[in-house]
Amino acid sequence: MRGLIAKRPEVFPPGWLRRDMADLFGRLFGEIPPEVDVLPEEGWVPTVDVEETEKGTLVKVDLPGVNPEEVEVSVDDGMLVIRGERKEEKEVKEKGLHRRERHVGRFYRALALPRGSDLEKISATSKRGVLSILVPRRPEVEPRRIAVKTEA
């Protein structure tokens, strides 16, 4: 009998709830936590991988079918912001098309940058639908020992 009961799909909070939560965190703490992505009304969220390397933080964003000229990468108040749009290439009006699962439209992703990031040296490259963003670390400042002089 258990096999006949359909599983409920996982439900994600709607965009307005995410925006309200981000606004609440912004007013309470002065920042948006990295877990809260604020989406446009009719957007999609590209998947990301974040990896710590010897050179810094490497962010890989899956953007298949997105023209790299349509992608904007910026830094705003300690957040790495990736936004753009995937445009529909052609309208398919064939009788055989029953389902469309490719997302089109605007996308937005915001990720908190780690402390010590060198914001002036961030670089981005695109290859085969994957946007790679390298956020290098600033060189660590070595602690300096200050000699204490004695007065006679």
pLDDT tens digits for range 49-67 = 999 998 899 999 999 888 8
Look up the pTM and report it: 0.61
Q: Residue 96 — left, alpha, or beta (φ > 0 → left; ψ -120 to 50 → alpha)?
A: alpha
Number of domains in the chain: 1
Q: Flag whether 93 is in a domain.
A: no
77: containing domain: 43-88+103-136
Whole-number pLDDT of residue 61: 95
Whole-number pLDDT of residue 81: 92
Q: Flag whether 60 is in a domain.
A: yes
Q: Higher pLDDT residue, 100 or 149?
A: 149
CA distances from 47 to 25, 34, 78, 88 (A): 23, 14, 20, 19
pLDDT band at residue 37 under the 50/70/90 scheme: very low
Residue 119: which CATH number?
Answer: 2.60.40.790
Q: Flag whether 33 is in a domain.
A: no
Q: How many CA atoms lie within 13 A of 128 on its CB side?
A: 0
Query: pLDDT for 81-103, tens place per residue?
Result: 999 988 766 666 666 666 666 67
Whole-number pLDDT of residue 78: 87
Whole-number pLDDT of residue 139: 83
Contact by Cβ (8 Å): 27, 41 = no
pLDDT band at residue 45 under the 50/70/90 scheme: confident
Q: Flag whether 55 is in a domain.
A: yes
Whole-number pLDDT of residue 101: 65
18: Cβ contacts below 8 Å, ≥ 6 apart: 36, 37, 38, 39
